[in-house]
Structure 1
């Protein structure tokens, strides 16, 4: 029997407010509810979830995932556009990272077009709503 893949989903600032925050942009479903659906959909994959509004906590989680997880699905949210540190953390670890965004960041404000993560990511998925996470997980399978 093949070994179960271990994938870590990491969400950055304000994504704990999904379902309440700007539903016209982010939808009306909480991430916890959506994550339960992902766990059901990908029963053969060990999915773990972490969310923080703190840049340092996100960096530590990325570092700690190295050698433990087979992949990271990362939505660094606003830190995508500001955090050299998160980009450096991704460059420093061997675990592949897929950068995801719920909205199409390129159809939004100009500052959201810059990512300090993309250069170090295995791939980028933007603009498919919460389905962006499902597509990222499938990329590891």
Structure 2
């Protein structure tokens, strides 16, 4: 079974209530349920925190996983600690996810210090971005296990 950590950062515990016109009406619990239903073959470890040091600890725990989906929230733009933690789990595929299209929003949201430490970025797909990220990780897991149809997942 493939094990995937889904890490959500600062303010994401308020999904569904915080700016639904931007982030949608689904809660984090709703997104978790959808992922479990869509990918029953995956063992998920869902975490959310508003504390940067705790998130760094979650990333370190994920070093034994098959992949990480991370929505860092506002830490995207300034957390070099989180960037460095993601770099330390070499060999674990990582996908950065954003519900909104950060490139179409305020200029300060367009820069990520996290992106250089991950393998892929998904933005602007709402909750489907999480599904795309998990699908990417699963294709990569298949390729690492020797499925020749999965080239450059």
In the superposition, the TM-score normalised over structure 1's length comes to 0.95
2:132 paired with 1:135: yes
Alignment correspondent of 1:10 = 7
Q: Name the CA distance, whole Å, in 2 between partners of 1:114 and 1:37.
A: 29
Give, in angstroms, the shift of residue 61 of structure 1. 0.5
Query: Match for 1:113 among 83, 94, 110?
Result: 110
SS at match of 2:108: helix
Return 5+ residue gaps in structure 1 as ranges: none
Question: 1:59 aligns to what?
Answer: 56
* Aligned-pair CA distance for 1:40: 1.2
Contact 2:16 2:27 in 1 (8 A): yes
Number of the residue aligned with 1:78: 74
Q: Aligned pair count?
A: 137
State the Cα deviation string for residues 22-69 of structure 1 (Å, max 9, x = none). 0000111111022112101100111110000011011111011112x1
**Aligned partners of 2:17, 2:126: CA distance in 1, in Å?**
15
Is the 2:6–2:68 contact (alpha carbons within 8 Å) kept by the matching residues of 1?
Answer: yes
Please report how far the alpha carbon of residue 140 of structure 1 lies from its aligned counterpart in structure 2 after TM superposition.
Answer: 1.1
- Distance in 1 (CA, whole Å) between partners of 2:113 and 2:136 is 21
Matched, 1:91 2:87: yes
Q: How far, CA to CA, are the matches of 1:76 and 1:37 in structure 2?
A: 20
Matches of 2:79 and 2:98, distance apart in 1: 16
Gaps of 5+ in 2: 139-153
* Alignment TM-score, normalising by the size of structure 2: 0.87
1:36 aligns with 2:19: no
Question: What SS is found at the alignment partner of 2:112?
Answer: coil
